[in-house]
Homo-oligomer: A and B are copies of this chain.
Amino acid sequence: MHKVVIIGGGFGGLEAAKALGKIPVEVTLLDRRNYFLFQPLLYQVATGGLSPADIAHPLRRVLRKYGNVKVYQDEVIEIEPAARIVRTRRGEYPWDTLIVAAGSTVSYYGNEMWRPFAPGLKGIEEALEIRNRVLRAFEEAEKERDPEARRAWLSFVIVGGGPTGVELAGTLGEIARDTLRGDFRNIRPEEARIFLLELAPRVLPSFPEDLSEAAELSLLRLGVRSLTGVRVTAVDSEGVEFERDGQRGRLSARTVIWAAGVQGHSLARLLHEKAGAELDRAGRVRVSPDCSLPTHPEIFVIGDMASYPDGKGGTLPALAPVAMQQGRYVARVIADRLAGRASPPFRYRDKGVLATIGRHHAVAQFGRTRFRGVLAWLLWLFVHLIYLIGFQNRILVLIQWAFHYFSYNRGARIITEQGCRPSG
C-alpha cells in the first residue's frame, strides 16, 4: 500500500492525517510530542488562566478511529529523499509520499543570546516558564525592600505587538489590576508597569489601521503602554535596550517576553540541503501551487513551515486555518494522484483574523467586515471553543473562563520548578 509519512502533529499534520485516514494508504505520523497543542490559547497557560492539559490532546486519541494511521512519538533527525526514508532517533520510516508539517520556532533575528532572558511562547514548557517568571516577579517584589529593585520586578516588557504580544500584554494588565488585587501586603500589583514594544508604527500591523488604534486604546485601559517604532538592540537579565527615532533608550525590567518573530522549523534547512528546497527570508520552504517541492513533487510542505504566495505579492500568514486547509488539501492531492487525476492548485479561503484584549474587548476582521468590542470578543470566545479538540476540554475551558470572568481570579497561578531533576 502507498506509504505516507507525516512529520508534525500540529494543525496541518493532524488535518492531513485525519483526511488520509479515510483513504486506502498507510499513514505514519511522527511528532516529538505525544499531543496536539491548541496554540492559539497557549498565552492563557502562560498567564495562569488554563492548565496545559486543557489545550492539549493526545495525538493517538484523536486518531484512534483511523486504523490505517500509526502514531509514534519520535524526533526526526534526517530526511533522505533519494532513499525515501525519514530517520529518527529510534529508526527509519520509509515513505512514498512525505508531508513535512513541523511548524515554526521562535526567531531572535540572529541574537540567540537573548533567549535565556526573553523566552518566547512556543510550547507548553515555554508557556510554563513564562508563567513562572511572571508570578515569581510579584513574589520577589513582595520580598524586596529596595524601591528601585522592586520597581524592576514590577516591570514587564513584551517584545512584539502582533496578536500574541497584544493578548499577552492585555492579560498581564488584567492580572496586575484585577487578579492579584488584595493578595499582597507590601506591594500594589496594580502599580506594575507593562510595556509592549513593536517595531512597526502600530500594534497589530497585519490588521486594518482602525483596529490597531482600538487595540492600543483597550490596552491603555488595562495599564499597558504600547511603544511603537521601537527596535530592540539588547536584552539582558536587567531589561532591554532599544532605539526609537534615532534615540537610544533602556527599560529596566526583570521579566521580558519575546513575541516578536518566528522562523521555519530547522527541518526546512534539511530540505534545502537534501532536496534542493528554496527557503524564504524567514527560513520557510517555497512550495509549488500544490504545496509540494518543485524539485520533489512527492514531498509536501504545509503550515507555518511553508512559504505560499497569497496572490497579493506576499505569502500566506502563519495561522491555524492556513495549515488546516493545506493539510486537508494535500490529502486530496495524494488521493488524486493515486487515482490518476489532476489536482487544482491550493486556494486559501480567508477565515479572517481575531485578537482579544482583556475581559471583553477584541478586534476582528472577516473580509471587509470589521468588529471590535464586546461582539468581537464573543466571536473570539465562540471560535476558540469550537476549534478546541475534545468535548471535555471545551467544557473545562468554558468553565474556567466563566470563573475568570465573574471572580477575576485565575486558577492556574502556581509556580512549578522546571529543574533538571525532581527535588527531595
Given A60-B183, A143-B90, check contact A400 B411 (CB 8 Å): no
Asked if B422 and A420 make an inter-chain contact with CB atoms under 8 angstroms apart, the answer reads no
Residues of A14-67 contacting chain B, CB below 8 A: 33-35, 48, 51-54, 56, 58, 60-61, 64, 67
Q: Is A119 part of the contact surface with B, judged by Cβ < 8 Å? A: yes
Tally of this chain's copies: 2
Contact with B along A149-184 (1 / 0, CB 8 A): 000000000000000000000000000000000111
Q: Is A116 part of the contact surface with B, judged by Cβ < 8 Å? A: yes
Q: Which of A48, A58, A119, A125 neighbours the largest number of chain B CB atoms within 10 Å of its CB?
A: A58
Q: Shortest beta-carbon distance, A213 to chain B, in Å?
A: 34
Asked if B34 and A414 make an inter-chain contact with CB atoms under 8 angstroms apart, the answer reads yes
**Stretch of A70-78, A226-234, A295-303, A375-383 on the interface side:** A70-78
Chain B, Cβ-Cβ closest to A126? B422
Q: A135 CA to B51 CA in the complex, in Å? A: 18
Q: Is A200 part of the contact surface with B, judged by Cβ < 8 Å? A: no
Q: Shortest beta-carbon distance, A118 to chain B, in Å?
A: 11
Q: Is A409 part of the contact surface with B, judged by Cβ < 8 Å? A: yes
What would 20 more interface pairs be, CB under 8 Å, given A34-B136, A58-B413?
Answer: A34-B139, A48-B53, A51-B54, A51-B412, A58-B414, A61-B183, A61-B409, A61-B413, A64-B183, A72-B139, A90-B143, A105-B424, A106-B424, A122-B424, A125-B419, A128-B416, A390-B411, A392-B411, A396-B411, A418-B421
What are the nearest 6 A-B pairs in CB distance? A51-B51, A53-B412, A126-B422, A73-B139, A35-B414, A60-B183
List 12 interface pairs A-B (beta carbons < 8 Å), by A numbering: A33-B414, A33-B415, A34-B135, A34-B139, A48-B53, A51-B51, A58-B414, A125-B417, A392-B407, A395-B399, A418-B421, A418-B422
